[in-house]
């Protein structure tokens, strides 16, 4: 269940962060509501995940996977481009997430 809570926290954080650009400085109501509710839900589910996951591991996964998914959303939704260094850095983040999930005994799954 903790893994599901962490996945929901990541999903909501990605939705909220992706909507942040559309708020135009919180001057547009609907995207602003998505941001506030998304971050609220993300932190709620992250707090539930922390019942089973160590805070450092949960946060590393939450932020790392979030960076990768927000970068993809920026590319898909806003046409943002990444240079080779950014792609390499994101690849290293993904490698870290895989190492934690596949090799670490600290992960809460």
pLDDT in tens, 9-35: 999 999 999 999 999 999 999 999 999
* pTM: predicted TM-score of the whole model, two decimal places: 0.86
Q: In this predicted model, what pLDDT tens digit does every residue of 41-57 receive, in sequence order? A: 999 999 999 999 999 88
Angle at alpha carbon of residue 82, lines to 28 and 67, rounded to 5°:
65
pLDDT for the residue 102: 82
Q: For 72-108, how does the pLDDT look when each residue is reduced to its tens digit (9 = 90+)? A: 999 999 999 999 999 999 999 989 888 887 888 776 5
Per-domain residue ranges for the chain?
2-103
Distances, alpha carbon 101 to alpha carbons 31, 42, 51, 74, in Å: 33, 20, 18, 25
> For position 107, what pLDDT does the model report?
62
Beta carbons within 10 angstroms of residue 65's beta carbon: 21
Q: What is the pLDDT of residue 97?
A: 86
Task: Specify the 3-state DSSP secondary structure of 54.
Answer: coil
Residue 109 has pLDDT above 60, yes or no: no
Looking at residue 56, its pLDDT comes to 87
| pLDDT given at position 83 | 93
């Amino acid at each position: 269940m903790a893994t599901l809570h962490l996945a929901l926290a990541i999903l909501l954080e990605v939705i909220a962060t992706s909507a942040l650009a559309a708020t135009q400085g919180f001057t547009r109501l609907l995207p602003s509501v998505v941001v506030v509710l998304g971050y609220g839900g993300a932190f709620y589910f992250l707090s539930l995940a922390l019942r089973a996951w160590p805070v450092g591991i949960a946060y590393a996964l939450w932020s790392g996977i979030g960076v990768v998914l927000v970068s993809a959303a920026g590319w898909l939704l806003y046409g943002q481009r990444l240079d080779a260094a950014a792609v390499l850095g994101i690849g290293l983040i993904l490698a870290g997430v895989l190492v934690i999930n596949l090799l670490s005994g600290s992960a809460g799954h």
